[in-house]
């Protein structure tokens, strides 16, 4: 059987995930094509982060199929290959500079060098503070550093869970512009946000998740 799915973005079909007796995802479905931004909305406890973790390969659903970049997660690969993510609060080494943090992470896979890291820092507005230790970064600056990490290897797919947390109005405007640029480049982007304006401004379509009360 050929597990290859023609959609090169994200395709999740009839996904179920439970923890013990608690069912968090029940028949969750989602499609994000290249060049689209899809919004993921819902109240706390509706399973947005769990769904994103399943798409990333961090959690295995009991039922359903998830394809990212045309490959089935858990069958063709354990984790998507060309993926940038922010899920929960980004973690960095506080004693190191923003630049050194990204260089260290980039070295783990060896796909990019110094210039690509610098380019990512420029795109999120952190180039001028690249040598400052992360301990001296504000919450919003750390969040932008997380976005820089997500985009620095030029992934085809982005999974962004509340990426604008802690950002001021100017930074939110800059990051919205960046996501629209990435969309225009053909990236498939899944965005979870509690901010209705983020969803209205950025998203081509929306998947609403509801708390499972069964």
Rounded to 5 degrees, φ, ψ at 46 are -85, -10
Sign of the Cα pseudo-torsion (105, 107, 109, 115, in order): positive
Task: Please check the confidence at residue 89 and state whether its pLDDT lies above 80.
Answer: no
Give the Cα separation of 36 and 14 in Å (integer): 21
Instruction: Grade residue 211 by pLDDT with cuts at 50, 70 and 90.
Output: low
pLDDT at position 169, please?
94
Bridge partners of 25? Answer: 17
List all residues 6 or more positions away from 64 whose beta carbon is below 8 Å from its beta carbon: 12, 13, 14, 15, 16, 27, 28
pLDDT digits (tens, 9 = 90+) for 23-41: 999 999 999 999 999 999 9
List all residues 6 or more positions away from 7 whose beta carbon is below 8 Å from its beta carbon: 31, 33, 67, 70
Task: Please check the confidence at residue 110 and state whether its pLDDT lies above 80.
Answer: yes
Give the Cα separation of 135 and 129 in Å (integer): 12
Which DSSP symbol is given to 103?
H
**Residues 175 and 147: beta-carbon distance below 8 Å:** yes
Which DSSP symbol is given to 134?
G
Paired tokens of 188: 């498939």
Q: pTM of the full predicted structure? A: 0.92
């Amino acid at each position: 059987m050929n597990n290859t799915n023609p959609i090169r973005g994200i395709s999740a079909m009839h996904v179920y995930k439970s923890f013990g007796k608690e069912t968090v995802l029940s028949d969750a479905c989602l499609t994000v094509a290249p060049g689209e931004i899809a919004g993921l909305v819902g109240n706390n406890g509706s399973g947005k982060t769990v769904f994103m973790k399943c798409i990333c390969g961090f959690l295995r659903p009991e039922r359903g199929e998830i394809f990212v970049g045309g490959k089935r997660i858990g069958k063709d690969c354990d984790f998507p290959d060309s993926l940038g993510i922010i899920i929960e609060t980004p973690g960095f080494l506080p004693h190191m500079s923003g630049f050194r943090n990204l260089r260290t992470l980039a070295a783990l896979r060896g796909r990019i060098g110094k210039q690509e890291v610098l380019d990512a820092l420029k795109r999120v507005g952190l180039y001028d503070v690249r040598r400052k230790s992360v301990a001296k970064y504000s919450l919003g600056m750390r969040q932008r550093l997380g976005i820089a990490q997500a985009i620095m290897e030029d992934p085809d797919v982005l999974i962004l869970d509340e990426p604008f947390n802690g950002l001021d109005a100017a930074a939110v405007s800059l990051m919205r512009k960046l996501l629209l640029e990435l969309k225009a480049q053909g990236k498939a982007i899944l965005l979870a946000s509690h901010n209705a304006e983020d969803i209205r401004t950025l998203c081509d379509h929306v998947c609403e998740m509801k708390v499972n009360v069964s």
